[in-house]
Structure 1
Amino acid sequence: MKILDVCAFYSPQGGGVRTYIDQKIRLASQLGHEVVIVAPGDEYAVLDRGPGARIVTTPSPRFPLDRKYGYFADEQALHAILDAEAPDVVEVSSPWRSPLMVSRWQGTALRSLVMHADPLAAYAYRWFGPVFSTRRIDRQFNRYWDHLRYLGGHYDVTVCANRSLAERLRQGGVRGVAVHPLGIEAETFSPNLRDEALRRTLLSACGLDGNARLLVAAGRLAPEKRWPMVVEAVAAASRRVPVGLVLFGEGRERRAIQRAIGGNPHVRLFEPIRDRKAFAATLASADALIHGCEAETFCMVAAEARASGTPVIVPDRGGAAEHARDGAGMRYEAASVHAASDAIAAFCLERRSGLSIGSTASHVAGDVISHTDHFARLFAHYEMLGRMRAAA
């Protein structure tokens, strides 16, 4: 197949979507497919990315709130690229304007909307959730739900990486929803990388000895990640049990997180670990990974922790929650600092009493799929939909 991805979230400067695209480009040719990425850019350009893979950029305005990203503004130019490429499948990786543009294209390719973002959970539910119920917020945002239902009627499939989002979309009347969890670098992460010396070093950085519990967190320092809440929860739990937190990340919320940390010696904020082997060893050496965001569409770091045999302490909504399944971690009420603190304390006390979350996490470490598995299953789904369409 020739698969064309209209990817408004792609930026050469980085981000989770770029990582996903890089994996797709690397693996598609191995799976026997051609991939073309169409992304906003400063000018029209074609970048060869190896056998059967290209990135095509089209002149586009910069996104005002984050200028490393652009957005598609010229529908005719986008349609011209689609006409010239004549793909078998068109993927759209944004729920905003670009899927509307593709829905109006006159081509015959199979169309897939990939939900790399959950705007209602990331923004509306987070902003208004303390005051209104989710059902009431959904009613106030019915125009957005109408938009999603329209897309569901014009796309052959809407792909979600977690069951929670998929079920919300189905209940909201969106047709053709399918769940395809993402994959990880399965060969990189393993419980065998646990290093007690590294664990003690990180605890020492938090002013604690080896008898304390070490929590690790990692990700963008963005408002929806709720890192100040996580810091506050760890600080509250540390009044009951000896526990430290090391947080790895960068982003615009750094100052807010530093203010939340204050002078707490048991919480440390570090730059991201860019060496993947070193990061894998850090995850495997932690007693648990903690996460604060209930708006994740998958939560790659929680999947990597699961593959490392490291228990997760995660919100009970969104993609992160799924990585605590089968006893591999603990869920707490999303957006609640008190619930998060109670979960941390309960986890630490359980570990001290010799109960089984850690051993369970090690037992299920092998069930996280690889990037290759993800793309093989997704592309096979497209091929099945193509056969069904041809038969019809």
Structure 2
Amino acid sequence: MRIVDVCAFYSPQGGGVRTYVEQKLKIGPELGHEIVVLAPGDDHAVIEHGPAARIVTIPSPRLAFDRKYWYFGDEPALHAALDALDPDFVEVGSPWRSPSYVARWQGNAPRALVMHNDPFSVYAYRWLEPWLRRETIDRRIDFLWQHMRKLGRDYDRVVCASRELRARLARGGVAGTALHPMGIDTTLFGPQRRDPEVRRQLLALCDLPEDAHLLIGVGRYGAEKRWPVAIDAVMRAGLTRPIGLVLIGEGGAAKRLTKHIAGNPHIHLLAPERNRLRFATILASADALIHASTSETFGMAPAEARACGVPVIVPDEGGAADHAADGAGLTYRAGDALAAAEAILALLDQSRPLRTPHARSMRDHFTALFADYERIREGERRVA
């Protein structure tokens, strides 16, 4: 198949979506498919990634609030690009403007909406749940549910990477939902990467001896990641035992997080580690990973920690919760720092290490996903 991924979230400076796209460009051709990523950019460009993989950009405006990203603003230009590419299957990775554009394209190729973004959790639930019940919030944002239901009717699949997101969309009346958990690079992430010297260095950075406990958090410094919950939890748990926390990321909330830490020497912010082998070593050398976001559609960092044999402490809502299943970690009540602190202490009190289940590779993910697309082309329409 020639699979065209209409990817509004792609940016050369991006994070999780860029990693996912690069894996697709590599693995898709190995599975016998041609992969074209159609993305917005400053101008028209074709970036070859091999004989059957390329990124094509079309001129588009940049986002005002994050200049690293663009958005599709010209529907006829997007339709013309799809006509020229003549896909066998079309993916769309954003729930916003671009899936409506692609739904109106007159081509015959079947289409899938891949939920790289959870608009309900990122915005409405995060902003309003401190004051309103979720049922009330859903009634007040029915316009968004109507939009998603229409996309469910327009698309042959609505692909979700977590059980919680798929179940929530299906309950809300979105048709065609299908569960396809993502995977990780199993050649890179594994328990063999654990390095006691790296662990000692990170604890020293947190002004703690090597017999203290080391927690790590990975992700962008943005409001939707809810890092203050993780910071407060570690501060509370640290009243009873020595615990260091290292956060790895970047973003506009870095100054606010530094202020929130308030000079605590046991909590340290680090810039992203671009060397993937070094990053895998740092992750595997922690005693646990803590996560606070409830808006993850999958949770790549918890998945990578799980593959490294590092237990995870994650909220009970959102995609990250899946990675605590099968004995790989503990969940806590979302948004509750005290509950998170109790989960930290409960995990550290474990008399035996938590089990490390088999890690799903990105090849496993794309093999199953593309097989589903093949079934759609052969006539099967929707999975209930």
What band does the TM-score fall into relative to the shorter chain?
over 0.9
Shift of residue 389, structure 1, vs aligned partner: 4.7
SS at 2:363's partner residue?
helix
Please tell me whether the aligned partners of residues 315 and 333 of structure 1 are also in contact (alpha carbons under 8 angstroms): yes
CA distance in 2, matches of 1:211, 1:18: 37
Deviations 1:103-159 (A, max 9, x none): 111111010000000011011100001000111111111001000000100100000
Shift of residue 343, structure 1, vs aligned partner: 1.2
Does residue 382 of the first structure (1) align with residue 373 of the second (2)? yes
In structure 1, the residue matched to 2:29 is 29
SS at 1:360's partner residue?
coil
Please tell me whether the aligned partners of residues 228 and 256 of structure 1 are also in contact (alpha carbons under 8 angstroms): no
CA distance in 2, matches of 1:72, 1:206: 44
Please tell me whether the aligned partners of residues 161 and 319 of structure 1 are also in contact (alpha carbons under 8 angstroms): yes
Work out the percentage of aligned pairs sharing the same amino acid. Answer: 54
Moved more, 159-168 or 208-217: 208-217
Shift of residue 360, structure 1, vs aligned partner: 1.5
Please tell me whether the aligned partners of residues 166 and 177 of structure 2 are also in contact (alpha carbons under 8 angstroms): yes
Deviations 1:198-228 (A, max 9, x none): 2222222212222221101111111111112
Query: What amino acid sits opposite 1:308 in the alignment?
Result: C
Contiguous gaps of at least 5 residues in structure 2: none
Does residue 373 of the first structure (1) align with residue 361 of the second (2)? no
Query: What amino acid sits opposite 2:280 in the alignment?
Result: A
SS at 1:35's partner residue?
strand
CA distance in 2, matches of 1:56, 1:65: 24
TM-score where L is the length of structure 2: 0.97
RMSD over equivalenced CA pairs, Å: 1.3
Moved more, 121-130 or 77-86: 77-86
5 Å-filtered alignment, 1:319-334, equals: 319-334=319-334
CA distance in 2, matches of 1:260, 1:88: 50
Query: What amino acid sits opposite 1:87 in the alignment?
Result: P
CA distance in 1, matches of 2:311, 2:184: 17
Structure 1 ranges of 4+ moved more than 4 A? none
SS at 2:36's partner residue?
strand
Please tell me whether the aligned partners of residues 190 and 284 of structure 1 are also in contact (alpha carbons under 8 angstroms): yes
CA distance in 2, matches of 1:389, 1:84: 26
CA distance in 2, matches of 1:68, 1:208: 37
In structure 1, the residue matched to 2:207 is 207
Please tell me whether the aligned partners of residues 122 and 224 of structure 2 are also in contact (alpha carbons under 8 angstroms): yes
Query: What amino acid sits opposite 1:377 in the alignment?
Result: A
In structure 1, the residue matched to 2:195 is 195
In structure 1, the residue matched to 2:315 is 315
5 Å-filtered alignment, 1:1-392, equals: 1-348=1-348, 350-351=349-350, 355-356=351-352, 358-361=353-356, 364=357, 367-389=358-380
SS at 1:14's partner residue?
coil
Shift of residue 47, structure 1, vs aligned partner: 2.2
CA distance in 1, matches of 2:289, 2:232: 16
Query: What amino acid sits opposite 1:21 in the alignment?
Result: V
Judged with a 3 Å threshold, the aligned counterparts in structure 2 of structure 1 residues 169 and 286 are, in CA distance, closer, same or farther, namely same
CA distance in 1, matches of 2:152, 2:245: 42
CA distance in 1, matches of 2:340, 2:246: 16
Query: What amino acid sits opposite 1:335 in the alignment?
Result: G
CA distance in 1, matches of 2:272, 2:74: 36
CA distance in 1, matches of 2:189, 2:52: 29
Moved more, 312-321 or 37-46: 37-46
Query: What amino acid sits opposite 2:138 in the alignment?
Result: D
Query: What amino acid sits opposite 1:83 in the alignment?
Result: D
SS at 1:388's partner residue?
coil
Shift of residue 197, structure 1, vs aligned partner: 2.5
Moved more, 53-62 or 30-39: 53-62
Please tell me whether the aligned partners of residues 6 and 37 of structure 1 are also in contact (alpha carbons under 8 angstroms): yes
Shift of residue 23, structure 1, vs aligned partner: 0.9
Contiguous gaps of at least 5 residues in structure 1: none
Query: What amino acid sits opposite 2:90 in the alignment?
Result: V
Judged with a 3 Å threshold, the aligned counterparts in structure 2 of structure 1 residues 33 and 268 are, in CA distance, closer, same or farther, namely same
